[in-house]
Structure 1
Amino acid sequence: MTGQFDGKVVFISGAARGQGRSHAVRFAEEGADVIAVDLCGQLDSVAYPMATREDLDETVNLVEKTGRSIIAEQVDVRDFDRLREVVGRGVAEFGRLDFVLANAGIFPAVGPQRFDISSFVDAIDVNLKGVYFTIEAALPALLSHGEGGAIVITSSAAGFKSVSSTFDTMSHGAAGYTAAKHGVIGVMRHYAASLAEKNIRVNSVHPGGVATPMIINEAMGSLVGDQPAFGEAQQPKLSMPPMEPSEVTDAIVYFCGHSGRHLTGVALPMDGGLTLK
């Protein structure tokens, strides 16, 4: 690793496993200290097992093995005051904040609960409002040192294309997920335009299916089996192995690092051509 983030601090939501854990470990390997949050609990609208406190503890273990420090707390990204509290604690400990990775998200578009209106509400609350709350909770610290920084939002290929492609694949959960992932592009552009004068760059990444527990689970397998049209609509055009979390991390490191210093307002598709017309 290059140590390009020596002396820097990153705040990551959804850090207990999957993409968030990958980001935390890689940023630590590059020299950054980490402020990490995750719900570590289950929502009724989510059919697959969500992350646990034990998962977050493993993220802590992996970051500490790099020699960097981490503060990790159980936080619901729908709780703005709690987010601010944890960011404040992290900044008091580490002295600054340089990067914000708004990564936390849920996929309430599988399982029978996807037909409950609560699945739409939870998708918007976590995947859209939670992104905004994460950034707003961190923004004062990001601005305070006057040296700029970077924000990266994790959206999805669903930011460009509906999760449901037929009448049979419609659900409240699919609608909420699609709307939220489209919505965070607007949030990204709002901040990119507004924070450019402060030299804070804001971009979003839009992966297709990534090999994490959010995608690889029994509920997703059942949906694809029951609704072949759903599975077919999620197939990339490139014949590649499933994307690994580390590949998304590579893109985020690029956005936050020296190589990405001229990039802001970019919505980066990472979907193997899934959203090509």
Structure 2
Amino acid sequence: MQGDLRPALAGIGDEAAVDLTGQLAAMRRLGWPGIELRAVDGVALADLSVHDLRRTVRQVSAAGLDVVCLASRIGNWARPITAPFDADLRELDVLAGQCGAFGTRYVRIMSYPNDGLAEAEWGARARERVARLAERATEHGITLLHENCAGWAAADPDRALRLLAEASSLRLLFDTGNGVDHGYDALELLRPLAGHVAHVHVKDATGGPGAATYVRPGDGEARVADCLRLLLNSGYAGSFSLEPHLVARPHDGEQADASAADRFVDAGRALERMLGELLAPYAAGASARGRS
């Protein structure tokens, strides 16, 4: 790893609070420079009115925060491969405009859960859709990030690499904790993909497929520290965006409650400690070189 040893920290705001004021307050408590946006006042970004979007842009700007990514619903658990594609194209067009307003270039997508299709047809349709989305994103001047969560290429590195080959502008978003709930080893998934990762979500969990219990980073079984170490050793220089799922879990319909902000900040401090320990050897090496 080279350059600035201070990690770029951010968090998905609606994990801390439903309302934007609460989301910004949590980031202020942590003192982090970035925020990732997914929903404001319980409304998905792409569904915000013009008035609410302008208000959101003003408040985020006034808070001095960088928007590191917009987390979309494109290809996610609620939109299987048989769902109308037009909804995803419309959402992409809306979010592309919002990227300009927020000053970010990244939009998170997934690669479409199956819905009764044969494996070959599922894969062909998913790759075609993602390739079309990535091409459209390029026309808008933004970059799509595929997350290892729901969809055809979520849990298989060979599929992810094939998706990248067929959508050349696509990059990867790696989530450290998804493997526990989806039944794969996140570190093993990451090994061949680390060089393609442009954004990271951090969460941790115990349990097993379909029955994960989410915990602070470092307290679970997701091998979070090992994943982050591998990324740092691979030259990763993007943001680490906290998505702890301790209270808010959109796929289960769970929104942040009164306890969410405190638990979010606590998880953020755990992430800071973990990254501090991981970066200590780099800092020591830089210090030694400075004295030589």
Same fold (TM over 0.5): no
More strand by share: 2
TM-score range, shorter chain: 0.3 to 0.5
